[in-house]
Each structure stands twice: as structure tokens, then as C-alpha cells.
Amino acid sequence: DAGVTQSPTHLIKTRGQHVTLRCSPISGHKSVSWYQQVLGQGPQFIFQYYEKEERGRGNFPDRFSARQFPNYSSELNVNALLLGDSALYLCASSVGQSSYNSPLHFGNGTRLTVT
């Protein structure tokens, strides 16, 4: 079975540009979560979408936005990129809404470099 797939795998952008990252969850998974992992740190929660609605948001500025499509895939958008946005962006999917009962399955991430 295919796992969580993310595209692109690597991306280089310039300050001020915007970027769109894509995620396809495991078939049958209705929840998609986005995390940012800066080098040397653990992943930090950005968003959760479940059944196409936002169900959680971390402490990130409004430059970060996301959406979930009817097929449960998701996009993460970041506007007005800053050097500090350089990180590995992880997508995780789960069957249900809660990590208590539905373990998260992570993709391999998109490595974003902002120059």
C-alpha cells in the first residue's frame, strides 16, 4: 500500500515568494496534519484538517494557510517567504481525527530552502 506522499521533495525559493506544498494521504485516511521541522528540532504542529475542515492550528503566522480537498489530499501554502521558513515540512495522515485513537503516518517531507 502507498504511504503518505508529498511533493515536491525539495524546493528552493527566494525571500518574498510564495510556495505550495502537496500531500496525498494514505487511502482511507480522512485527517491530514502539517508539521514544520527545523534542523535539529522536533516537528512543530502547523495545521490539522479533517473532513475538509480545519480542526487545529498551531502558533504560526497568517502567511501559512492550508486546505483539504474532497479526495482528502491537502495543500500547504506559505506566502511572503522568510529565510526562517527554511525547514522540512511534514505531512501526516490518520484515519480518525484524534491522535489518541488514530496513529499518525508521516510522509518523508518536503525540504524547503529560502534564499
83-102 binders of another protein (CB under 8 A): 90, 92, 94, 97-100, 102
Q: How far is the CB of 79 from another protein (least distance, A)?
A: 22
- Cα dist. 83→18, 28, 107, 114 in Å? 12, 36, 23, 5
> Is 41 among the residues that bind another protein (CB under 8 A)?
yes
Rounded Cα distance between 54 and 97, Å, is 11
Pairing of strands 44-50, 53-57: antiparallel
Question: Residues 30, 67, 105, 111: which binds another protein (CB under 8 A)?
Answer: 105
In the complex, the residues that contact another protein under the rule CB under 8 A are 3-4, 31, 33, 40-45, 48, 55-56, 58, 90, 92, 94, 97-100, 102-109
